[in-house]
Amino acid sequence: QTPWKLVIHGGAGVIERERISKEQDSDIRAALTRALDAGSKVLAGGGEAIDAVEAAVKVLEDDPHFNAGKGAVYTYEGKNELDAAIMRGDTRAAGAVAGINGTRNPIEAARAVMEKSPHVMLIGEGANIFSREQGLTQVTPDYYETPERKRQLEELKANKLSWFDVDMKYG
Amino acid sequence: TVGAVALDAKGHVAAATSTGGVTGKRWGRVGDAPIIGAGTYADDRACAVSATGAGEYFIRAGVAHEICARMRLKGESAKAAADAVIADVGQLGGTGGVIVVSPKGETIYSFNTPGMYRGMASADGKSVGIYGDE
């Protein structure tokens, strides 16, 4: 047997100690740990890598500290447009969605594209329809909202900053 | 952006990435996360990669596939390949990072930003980090 491994990320950018409170630091580390635990549980039980990465990403999508799922950033129009992709190394099967909203966990939609369609990428309203047809959990637009993301959009609009200036935690 | 890469007990790798994009995006902008080969890629012959960063630069560099291709065709380690490709992104003017796992069991981070939210686990234990010096 191969020793199993799992690596996760929750975004990169100008992340400095003086810009993150102790509470935020603690919450973020706890969320990362939960994501590792979710993926590790799959792998330690002999499960597949594809199931482990989906499980880990879903934890991070559900946590408002990260720019994915709940807590995703706003478009200029004040909406959330979510993107996700998944790929397995044994068959190189892959699935992706772009510009979707309404699906609670976009990574589930990407996996459904990979496994339940002959395609690799679906976008926009078509991808939303596909997600609903696959029976994936749907949410209303307010599910994704967080006060911090609203503040960031307002700051961008008020200061006419470039896209990359507001938060510098990329996606 | 969030992501994960894994190696299972059967020696197979996988990658997943999910994002909201960038604040204030317009015109249906899409970054690298859902672009297979840019922000996400997995190939048992080389590695699995998930990226986070300034998406347009990662698309132009074909980051995830490029890392796997360097490992498969040049025989580079995961660390060498990832560092080289992230350096290339930097040359283009982009910033961000990647996580990589290989079928050999290599697990690495590579980023050119001050920090990256990240974590790593195996049967031996787990660790998380935020800042660049951790």
Chain A residue at shortest CA distance from B96: A12
Determine which of A24, A40, A53 to mutate to test the interface with B (most B C-beta atoms within 10 Å). A53
pLDDT, chain A, mean: 92
- Kindly state whether B31 is in contact with chain A, defined as any CB-CB distance less than 8 angstroms: yes
Closest alpha carbon to A156 in B25, B102, B45, B134 = B25
Give me the mean pLDDT over the A20-28 stretch.
91
The string of DSSP codes covering A85-122 is: EEEETTT--EEEEEEE-SBS-HHHHHHHHHHHSS-SEE
Q: How far is CA B119 from the centre of its chain?
A: 13
Question: Cβ separation of A171 and B101 shorter than 8 Å?
Answer: no
Whether residue B5 has pLDDT greater than 60: yes
Burial class (CB in 10 A: 0-12, 13-18, 19+), B93: exposed
The two tokens of residue A63 are: 């946590």
Of A25-34, A159-168, B67-76, B101-110, minimum mean pLDDT range: A159-168
How big is chain B by its Cα radius of gyration, in Å?
14
H or E segment to which residue A35 belongs: helix A22-44
Chain B residue at shortest CA distance from A94: B36
Whether residue A107 has pLDDT greater than 50: yes
pLDDT score of A165: 55
- The pLDDT tens digits for A148-158 are 999 989 888 88
Q: How confident is the model at residue A171 (pLDDT cuts 50, 70, 90)?
A: very low
B18-53 burial code (b ≥16 CB/10 A, e <16): bbbbbbbbeeebbbbbbbbbbbbbbbbebbbbbbbb
Question: Cβ separation of A39 and B4 shorter than 8 Å?
Answer: yes
Burial class (CB in 10 A: 0-12, 13-18, 19+), B104: middle
pLDDT score of A166: 53
H or E segment to which residue B115 belongs: strand B115-122
| Whole-complex ipTM | 0.98
Residue from the list A89, A94, A99 with its beta carbon closest to the beta carbon of B44 = A89
- The pLDDT tens digits for A51-102 are 999 999 999 999 999 999 999 999 999 999 999 999 999 999 999 999 999 9
Q: Which residues on chain A are in Cβ contact (under 8 Å) with B39?
A: 85
